[in-house]
Amino acid sequence: MTNPTLLILAGDGIGPEVMAEVKKIIGWYGDRRGVTFDVSEDLVGGCAYDVHGVPLADATMAKAQEVDAVLLGAVGGPKYDVLDFSVKPERGLLRLRKEMDLFANLRPAQCFDALADFSSLKREIVAGLDIMIVRELTSGVYFGEPRGIFVEGNERVGINTQRYTESEIARVARSAFELARKRGNRVCSMEKANVMESGVLWREVVTKVHAEEYPDVALSHMYADNGAMQLVRNPKQFDVIVTDNLFGDVLSDAAAMLTGSLGMLPSASLGLPMANGRPKALYEPVHGSAPDIAGQGKANPIACILSFAMALRYSFDMGAEADRVEAAVAKVLADGLRTADLMGAEGGTPIGTTQMGDAIIAALDASLV
> Which letter does DSSP use for residue 239 in this model?
S
- Give the C-alpha separation, 314 to 318, whole Å: 8
Q: In what helix (H) or strand (E) does residue 319 lie, and over which residues does it extend? A: helix 319-334
In one letter, which amino acid is 80?
A: Y
Return d(Cα 222, Cα 188) in angstroms, integer.
7
On whether the CB atoms of residues 136 and 105 are closer than 8 A, the answer is: yes
| 267 DSSP assignment | E
Active-site positions read 142, 192, 225, 249, 253
With contact defined as beta carbons under 8 Å apart, do 205 and 169 qualify? yes
Residue by residue, DSSP assigns 29-40 as HHHHS----EEE
Yes or no: say if 356 and 20 are a contact pair by the CB < 8 Å rule.
no
Q: Which of 14, 77, 305, 280 is nearest to 171 (CA)?
A: 280
- Three-class secondary structure of residue 176 per DSSP: helix
Q: What angle do CA 79, 84, 86 make, to 5 degrees?
A: 115
Are 201 and 164 within 8 A, CB to CB? yes
Contact 329, 360 (CB under 8 A): yes
